[in-house]
Amino acid sequence: MYKILIIDDNTDLCNMLSDTFSKKEFEVNAYQTLAQGLNHLFSNEVDVIFLDVKLPDGNGLEAIQEINTHPSRPEVIVITGYGDQGGADLAIKSGVWDYLPKGGSYKDFERSLDNAIEYRHQKKKANQIKKLEVPHIIGENQQVKECLEKIFKASRTDVPVLISGETGTGKELFAKAIHQNSPGKEKNFIIVDCAALPENLAESILFGHTKGSFTSANSDKHGLIQLADKGTLFLDEVGELSLPLQKKFLRVLQEKRFRPIGLKEEVSCNFRLVSATHRNLKDMVKNKDFREDLYFRINAIKIDIPPLKKRKSDLPILARHFIQRNCNPETGLKYEETPEFMKALLVYNWPGNVRELISAVNYACADCYGGGKLYARHLPDHIRQFNINIKLKQKKEPALLSLSQGSIPFQEMSLKMFLTAQKKKYITQLMSFVDGDVKTACELSGLSKGHLYSLLRQYKSLKPNQ
C-alpha cells in the first residue's frame, strides 16, 4: 500500500484530500504544521507528500532539501494559494513532482497523485532490475546520490550526456561510470581531450586519414571517433572546441557519419556521447563562443557534480578511502587519522576538489614516514596556513552578538532574549561556514541532526545543502 502525507494548514483541504485518497486504498496522514509533518516523515516510510508553501511554522519550499534526505526519497507535490513564479522555479529545481494551485479541481490533485505513484512504481521496478556498478564514486551526499540516479537513467539509454563541474571533481570518473553500466561497456571508452587538440591536426585525430592524404600520412589511420564505434566517446572539456570543429562535430552527431581525410566515401559510426566541461556553456552560447545547436545536441541529460566544499559531509569518507590506499597490509604499513587531522580537512575550502584531497592525503602519508597516526602537521603547508588564518580571523572578530559599543540594553533585553540572539547568530555563521552542509555542521557544533534542523526552522534559516 502506498503511503501519502499531506502537510497543509487548511483543514478543509486536508480532509477533502484525505477522503479522496483513502477511497483509492492509500494510507493517508495529514498535518497542519511543518514540524508535525516532518516528524511523521522521519519516523515512517512515505511515498508521496502534498506540501503547502506557507505554513504557520515555516516555508514548505525551504524544507524540500530536508525531505530529500529521507531514505525513501518521496515524491513531492507542492500546493499553494499563491501564484509565485519564483516559487515554482525553486520547486522544480528542487526535484518536486508537481506544483499545483489550491484553486484547482480535486481531480487535478488525484491525477497528479496517480502519475506520481506510477512514476514511483516504475522507479522501484527499475531499481530492482539493475544496480549501478560505481566502485570508484564514493559519497553519501544527497547531490552525489542525485548524480548517481542520473547515471542510472543515462546508462539505460544512448542519449548524449553533459557532465559539468569544477576542475578536480571527478568528471571523467562519472563518464566512465556511465560507460561501465551501459550495454556497450565491453566496447571502447575513447577520451578526447578537447583542450589539447592541436588545431592543425584536430581533424586527423578525430576523423582519421588515408595514406598519402597529407605529407606525414605514411599509413591509413582510424580517428578517435571511429575507435568509439558501438562504445562511448568522451569529449573532455568540450567548451574548448573551436567553432569550426564544433560545426563539423555537430554533423557527425546528427548523421553518425563522417569522412576521414583523403577518403571519398563517408564512414558510419554509432557511438554513445558523453561530454564534460568546467565552463558555463550557456554563457558561452550567449557570447557566441559555443554553438547553440551543438549545446542542445549534447545536453539531453545534464549531470552537475558538486564541488567538494559543497559536500563536506563526504570528506571523512573520502579521506579514509584515500588513506587506506596508502596502507600496505603485506608490509604492515598502516596510517590512522586523528580527530585533529580530520577537523583540519573540514576547515579547508578545497579549491582543487577531490583531486586536491587525494594529493593532500598522499602528501600527509608520505610525511608520516613509516606509518602511524596522521596529524594536521602532516598536511601540505598551504592547507595549514589557510587553517591558521581562519583561526586568527575568528579571534580578531568581535563577539557573536554585536551591540552598540559592547553595551547591553538590560532594560530592553532579558537574558533569554540575549542568549536566543547569540544562538541565532552562531547557527547562521555556522551554516555559512560549512556552506549549508548539515553533517559537517553537526560534527563541528556537537549538535544532533534533529536539534540542528529544529534550530534552523526556529530561526527561519533552513537552507541546508545535503
Architecture of domain 3-128: 3-Layer(aba) Sandwich (3.40)
The three cell numbers of residue 373 are 597516526
Q: Which residue, 402, 449, 466, is CA-closest to 429? A: 402
Q: How far apart are CA 295 and CA 292, in angstroms?
A: 5
pLDDT for res 153: 87
Element (H, E) at 276: strand 272-277
Rg, C-alpha atoms of the chain: 27
In the chain, how long is the greatest CA-to-CA distance? Answer: 93
One-letter amino acid of 337: E
Angstrom distance (rounded) from CA 309 to CA 168: 12
At residue 405, the pLDDT reads 44
* pLDDT score for 218: 82
CATH 3.40.50.300 fits 142-306, yes or no: yes
Q: How many Å apart are CA 58 and CA 37, to the nearest integer? A: 12
Whole-number Å distance between alpha carbons of 24 and 114: 10
With a cut of 50, list the residues of the chain below it in pLDDT.
Answer: 128-129, 398-405, 462, 466
Side chain identity, residue 190:
I
**Whole-model pTM over 0.75:** no
Domains 142-306 and 309-396 share a fold: no
CB 4 within 8 A of CB 113: yes
Domain boundaries, the chain: 3-128, 142-306, 309-396, 407-458
Whether 211 and 169 have beta carbons less than 8 Å apart is answered as no
The confidence score (pLDDT) of residue 127 equals 61
**CATH architecture, range 309-396:** Orthogonal Bundle (1.10)
Residue showing cell 566515401: 265
CA distances from 167 to 146, 279, 295, 348, 379 (A): 20, 10, 20, 17, 21
